[in-house]
Amino acid sequence: MLMAGFDGLVALLSIPLTVFGCFALVDAFIRREDAFRAADKQTKPFWLIILSIALVVSLIFPILSFLPIIGLIAIIVYFVDVRPAIKQVGGGGGGRRGGSSSDGPYGPYNGGR
């Protein structure tokens, strides 16, 4: 009975890992290839392959195996290191391009002057 509950917990933990991996893969796919090179974060095909492998491994193996944990580390590295660097370079896929930090939704904010 205890093992059945533990198996249910492991299954619940694998769902967010799969969703997290899908989001990372889609995010890497919509970014421009030159932004990866400009941010000096390997290449787009490299990250697409790594994130695809991590997603497939998370679907095939149980979460307590070492392979999904390695995949989770790759996904976390993408979100913590690669994605912010690409967004800073302006790698597309949403977000604002150009403009000043004081720009509002309807143009520059001049402080009420």
Span 7-66, pLDDT tens digits: 677 677 778 888 999 999 999 999 999 899 888 889 999 999 999 999 998 888 776 678
Residue numbers of the domain that contains 33: 25-91
pLDDT confidence of residue 4: 66
pLDDT confidence of residue 6: 64
In a domain, 113, yes or no: no
Structural contact between residues 48 and 18, judged by C-beta atoms closer than 8 angstroms? no
Res. 106: pLDDT tops 70: no
In a domain, 101, yes or no: no
pLDDT confidence of residue 95: 47
In a domain, 106, yes or no: no
In a domain, 65, yes or no: yes
Least confident of 18-32, 49-63, 70-84, 99-113: 99-113
Give Dmax over CA atoms of the chain in angstroms.
69
**Entry pTM:** 0.69
pLDDT confidence of residue 59: 85
Domain count, the chain: 1
In a domain, 35, yes or no: yes
pLDDT confidence of residue 68: 83
SS3 for 76-108 is: HHHHHHHHHHHHHHCCCCCCCCCCCCCEECCEE
In a domain, 96, yes or no: no
In a domain, 40, yes or no: yes
Q: For residue 90, what pLDDT band results from cuts at 50, 70 and 90?
A: confident
In a domain, 108, yes or no: no
Structural contact between residues 41 and 85, judged by C-beta atoms closer than 8 angstroms? yes
